[in-house]
Amino acid sequence: MLYTTRVVRLAGPVAGITAAAILLAGCNSKSATPTAQPTSSTSAGSTAATGPASPPANAPLTSLTAEQILDRAKQALVAAGSVRVRGGLSSGATALGFDVQMSTTTGAGTVRMPQGTFQAIVTETETYLKADPRFWSATLGPAAATKLAGRWLRPKVDNQSLKSIAALFRLREFGDGVLSPSGSLTKGKIKLINGQPAIAVSDSTGPADGRGTLWIATRGRPYPLRLDGGTNISQGLMFSDFGQPVRVTAPPAAEVVDEASLGN
C-alpha cells in the first residue's frame, strides 16, 4: 500500500534497533508484479501496439492523472540534484524525527528515534555514524557506548546494513522509496503549502492507518513539498532547499572509530 510507515531494521552496528525510516511505497513484503509491456515489433500488414499517449511536457499539472503528477514530481526531485527533508512521523510506538540534506551521492543529517538520536555523514565512499550514549548502549552495549562517546563510528566495509542507512541520505534512493507507489492513487484538492499552491496525491487503497498524502507544487517545478501521514500517522515531512549545495566533509580521523576495533 502507498504512503505507509516503512520500518528499516538496521543490522551490524545498530543491531536489534528498528529505525523509523518513514518512506512511501515499496513497503509491503511482496514484490510488485511486473506489468506486461505492449510489443513494439511490426510485420507486414500489422500495426504496432502502443500505450496511451504521454501528456505534453507543458500540460498543466492539474490536468494530469494522479500517476502522471507523481511521475512529474519524481523527475523534478531527481533533476534538482539535492533536497532537505525535515519533520517527523509517528505511528503507534514507532516515531521518527528527521532533518537531512542529501544530494545524489552524499548526505548528512540527524535521525531521532525512541531509542536515541544518531547523526550520519555519507560521503561518496564512506558512511559515518555518531550517536548519543542511550542509542549506543541500546545497540552495541554500554562498553561500546563509552568508547564511542563523542566519536564517529565507521562500520565495516562488508556491513550490509549500510545500504539501508545510506539510502536515507542519498537523493535517488530516497526518492525511489518515497515516490514509487504500489497501490492506486487519487488526485485531490489544491491548498497552500508554505505559501505555494500544491495538489494532493493520495493512496486510495488499504486501511486508513496506511494511507497518506503527498503535496506536489503546481507552480514552477512540480517538487514534492510535504508528506502527510494517514489517520494513525501524525505529523509530516517537509521538502525544501531544492538544488542547494550539500557540503559533506568526513570527520577528522582522530574522531573516527572503526567498527572492527570494537570487537563486536
Give the domain extent around 79. 8-27+63-240
Q: Is residue 207 part of a domain?
A: yes
Nearest by Cα to 118 from 98, 103, 102, 104? 98
Q: According to the model, what pLDDT value does residue 121 have?
A: 96
Number of domains in the chain: 1
Q: Is residue 100 part of a domain?
A: yes
Q: According to the model, what pLDDT value does residue 26 have?
A: 29
230-243 residue pLDDT tens: 555 556 889 999 99
Going across the sheet that includes 82-91, the strands are 185-193, 196-203, 213-217, 224-228, 233-240, 82-91, 94-103, 107-113, 116-122, 127-131, 152-154, 256-258
Q: What cell was used for 235?
A: 505529523
Q: What cell was used for 63?
A: 490536468
- Determine the length of the chain: 264
111-142 residue pLDDT tens: 888 888 999 999 998 999 999 999 888 877 89
Q: Is residue 262 part of a domain?
A: no
Q: What is the average per-residue pLDDT within 20-29?
A: 33
Q: Is residue 40 part of a domain?
A: no
Q: Is residue 263 part of a domain?
A: no
Q: Is residue 130 part of a domain?
A: yes
Contact 133, 152 (CB under 8 A): no
Alpha-carbon gap, residue 136 to 134, rounded angstroms: 6
Q: Which residues have a Cβ under 8 Å from the Cβ of 83 and sit 6 or more positions away? A: 77, 101, 102, 171, 239, 240, 241, 242
Q: Residue 202: which H helix or E strand, with range?
A: strand 196-203
Q: Is residue 147 part of a domain?
A: yes
Q: Is residue 47 part of a domain?
A: no
Q: Is the pTM of this model over 0.75?
A: yes
pLDDT at 180 > cutoff 90: no
Q: According to the model, what pLDDT value does residue 162 have?
A: 60
What percent of the chain lies above the pLDDT cut of 70?
68
85-102 residue pLDDT tens: 998 877 666 777 889 999
The runs of H, that is alpha helices, within the chain are 66-80, 133-139, 142-147, 161-166, 171-178
CATH classification at residue 179: 2.50.20.20
pLDDT at 204 > cutoff 80: no
What percent of the chain lies above the pLDDT cut of 90?
42
pLDDT band at 205; cut points 50, 70, 90: low
